[in-house]
Amino acid sequence: MKYCLSGLLMAGLWSGMALAASNTCQDAMTQTDMNVCAARIHDQADTRLNSLYQQYRHRLSAEDQQHLVIAQRAWIGYRDAACRFETAQVSGGSIFPTIWSQCLTGKTEARIKELQLLMQCKEGDLSCPSLQ
């Protein structure tokens, strides 16, 4: 059993590495490939969000930077709680990592759009945080 499990883990690892090297999720054929792919897509969205967050944060006044940090931490808590709720039905299943990553990606993409809108605010727009 130990050798069988090790073999399965190695096959999954090689499959995931091959998929990551192919750089396309359209080639995902196994659940492991789909899980790896969905996680990679989420990582890319998360990287974009973090970059945008940092750019936006540096444009704000010191006081609004603190408010943004508080808001972002609250958003992360909301994102995680909402995705736990939305994926509860598949929790423990082999598809769970794919569904979880897709949920995180959707919430992350929505947050990216929110920050992009805030970055487009013009100076003097009283509905936006103040710029430095």
Return the domain boundaries, the chain: 31-117
**Tokens matching residue 88:** 């509860």
Q: Quick check: 100 and 84 in contact, CB under 8 A?
A: no
> Does residue 24 carry a pLDDT above 90?
no
Instruction: Kindly report whether the global pTM for this prediction surpasses the value 0.85.
Output: no
13 pLDDT tier (thresholds 50, 70, 90): very low
Q: What is the mean pLDDT of residues 86-115?
A: 96
| Separation between Cα atoms, residue 18 and residue 12, nearest integer Å | 10
Of 94, 90, 110, 82, nearest to 34 (Cα)?
94
CATH topology of domain 31-117: Substrate Binding Domain Of Dnak; Chain:A; Domain 2 (1.20.1270)
**Mean pLDDT of the chain, nearest integer:** 84
In the three-class reduction of DSSP (H, G, I as helix; E, B as strand; rest coil), residue 121 is classed as coil
| Separation between Cα atoms, residue 104 and residue 81, nearest integer Å | 10
| Separation between Cα atoms, residue 115 and residue 54, nearest integer Å | 10
> Does residue 47 carry a pLDDT above 90?
yes
Among the ranges given (12-16, 44-48, 80-84), the one the predictor scored with the smallest mean pLDDT: 12-16
Q: What is the mean pLDDT of residues 18-39?
A: 75
Q: What is the mean pLDDT of residues 92-117?
A: 96
